[in-house]
A and B are shown apart, each in its own frame.
Chain A
Amino acid sequence: MYDSFMIQADSLKNDVVNGETVGFQFIVRLANYRGIYLSLASGFYVSVDGVEYGEDVQTLEINGKAPRTMAEIARAGFEHWDLQTKAILHIRKPGGLEKGRHDIGYMPATLDGYGYNAHDEEWVTNPPKPGTRGGGKTHHICMFDLELQE
């Protein structure tokens, strides 16, 4: 679902803090027909030119708040990610990305569902690794050919 649209095409750029390039960022959307409680976003599969970037280097900027780690996002049980809301996914990578085009692999991992399921208890301590299970309604890693913006 939204295979071509989960990442905003013109949003890939380097993250610069106090003159230092600390990583890169792009704008992401929910791959769903509904919004979800923000806590249900458990991470994102991200690869750039074949290199994967795990949850430990991901922070999510959403709802007008500063970027939060995925552990902080997990505690946002009363905050909502509306379907229409765009979020900025930051990836820590000293030096950022090189100029030019990049192949981005992307798939959100969200734990939204339809009532109680047999896997519930396991997922409290061991949620599916991003990229291994569909988040929302997208069931495979989608590829994006994006140009790094200035």
Chain B
Amino acid sequence: MIKRSVSLYSYQQNEFFGWMDWKAQLREIALNLDGADGVEIINETTIPNYPCPPEAWIYEWRSELARWGLQAVTMDTFLDTLQFRDHVMTYREAGERIRYDLELAHKMGFRNMRLCHHTPYQAVEMNLDLAAKYDIIMTNECDVRSLDLGHMMGDSIESEIAFIERTKTKHYGLQIDMSQFQNKPCCIQLRYRFRTAGFSPERAAEAAEDIFQTFEKIGREATNEYIKEKYPEIAGGPFPALHMHANPIGRMYEIIPYLVHMHGKFYEMTEVPGKPGLYEDRALPYEEVFKHLKKSGYNGYISSEFEGQRSQQDMGLEGLIDEVDQVRKHQQMMKRFIEDKHNNTPF
């Protein structure tokens, strides 16, 4: 059975404003998500005085997990190669940064530790013995920004698997971000894009919905042309207006043997038309992905990873989206797909 967790990344806005600290976030997961029991953190967000939290805080962390019956699933880590500014971080220094993150992950009871993509194998290999000692699986993430699944299925996935096979390690694997499968326009991002281009909130909402509906009718390529013609204000910029990977979901099977964890990235939960009280993210094909995950026998965790908040932080306090509500709706949706006995077989 697939298990449900929450990345505290989802509550980043509450963290920023000081409205919910990590204890309040754990309490929310334990009490209001109907059986979710896993926790994922961003090391440089949740851990006070990173990278050297007080020992007393470590005890408090483990105590809170025990209090609520929660599992420390994955700690997300980073690799800032210009940390020392006078030189690019050497691979040995990168290995050292991974080592002390492993020490922290071990102290905090995590079973997985996500590395940054573009982490050299030399730095990973330096730490395989320590990961084995602590029984922590390090993971490389395929997400929307870099090593997309399509690319991973080419040269990179081969090198990942070759590394795992060569070292015969049980402590390095892969994780997938749901954004890999985004196959429809993300309206909350489009609305933000329109507003920053000078549209009023009302016009931005209308234009975003127009793009979504047009996409449904005529598909991606034709919609790109439609945007260039009708909405030139958002056609340029560093990211394409229709920013999506739309990787074939079935190709997931090629990395299932190495799949350790999943990020349930999402941007905006909205009510399913005609089904009051049920929610979906229109940009992401969760139902299909869950069918394949169940078929594959995947029994790890999938973390809610909400990212829509940043698209409404240009409208003042009254414009902010409610992260807690969004995560509750996302968890409700995942539970529905996990437990749906009629959706166990891919079409």
Chain B interface size, under 10 / 10 to 19 / 20 to 34 / 35 or more: 35 or more
User: Which of B149-157, B268-276, B290-298, B311-319 lies at the binding interface?
Assistant: B311-319
Contact B50 A112 (CB under 8 A): no
Q: Which of A2, A111, A112, A142 contacts B78 (CB 8 A)?
A: A112
Most chain A CB within 10 A, of B50, B119, B145, B196, is at B50
What's the least CB distance linking A111 to chain B, in Å?
A: 5
Contact A4 B314 (CB under 8 A): yes
Q: Using Cβ atoms and an 8 Å threshold, which residues of chain B touch A120?
A: 81-82, 88
What's the least CB distance linking A63 to chain B, in Å?
A: 10
Residues of chain B in range 150-203 having any CB-CB distance to chain A below 8 Å:
196
- A120–B79 alpha-carbon span in the complex (Å): 12
Interface of B (DSSP majority class): loop
Contact A117 B44 (CB under 8 A): no
Chain A interface size, under 10 / 10 to 19 / 20 to 34 / 35 or more: 35 or more
Contact B44 A116 (CB under 8 A): no
The verdict on A29 contacting B81 (CB below 8 Å), with A4-B315, A82-B50, A124-B86 known, is: no
Most chain A CB within 10 A, of B85, B238, B316, is at B85
Q: Using Cβ atoms and an 8 Å threshold, which residues of chain A touch B146?
A: 114
Interface string of B98-122 (1 = CB under 8 A from A): 0000000000000000001111100
Q: Using Cβ atoms and an 8 Å threshold, which residues of chain B touch A124?
A: 82, 85-88
B80 contacts the other chain (CB 8 A): yes
Q: Using Cβ atoms and an 8 Å threshold, which residues of chain A touch B310?
A: 1-2, 33, 137
Contact B314 A3 (CB under 8 A): yes
Interchain residue pairs with CB less than 8 A apart (21): A2-B310, A3-B314, A4-B314, A4-B317, A33-B45, A34-B43, A36-B80, A37-B80, A39-B82, A40-B82, A40-B85, A75-B85, A82-B49, A83-B16, A84-B18, A113-B79, A115-B118, A116-B88, A116-B118, A124-B82, A124-B88
